Amino acid sequence: MRSFNDRNEEAARFAAEVEAFGRDIAKARIAVADLRYHLAMRRSYRRRSCPVSWRETSRWTSEPG
C-alpha cells in the first residue's frame, strides 16, 4: 500500500500536468482567434482595395490575348 506522501506527490504531478494542458489549450485558443482576426482583416482589405472579384481576374489572365 502506498503512503500518504506518495499519493500526495502523484496528485501534485497530475495537477501540474492538467495545469500545463490547460495552458496549452489557452495558447491554442489565442492562436486560433489571432488567425481568424488576420484572415478577416485580409478579406476586408481585399474587398476595399479591389472591387473586382478574384475569380474574374483569374478569368482575364487565363484568356489568350
- DSSP secondary structure string for all residues of 7-38: HHHHHHHHHHHHHHHHHHHHHHHHHHHHHHHH
Q: Does the pTM exceed 0.75?
A: no
pLDDT: is 1 or 27 the higher one?
Answer: 27
Per-residue pLDDT, 43 = 77
45-65: per-residue pLDDT in tens? 665 555 555 555 555 555 554
Could you give the number of structural domains in the chain? 1
Q: Give the tens place of pLDDT for each residue, 4-47.
A: 888 999 999 999 999 999 999 999 999 999 999 998 888 776 65
Structural domain of residue 21, as residue ranges?
4-62
Query: 6-17: b or e for each residue (b if 16 or more CB lie within 10 Å)?
Result: eeeeeeeeeeee
Confidence at residue 41, expressed as pLDDT on a 0 to 100 scale: 84
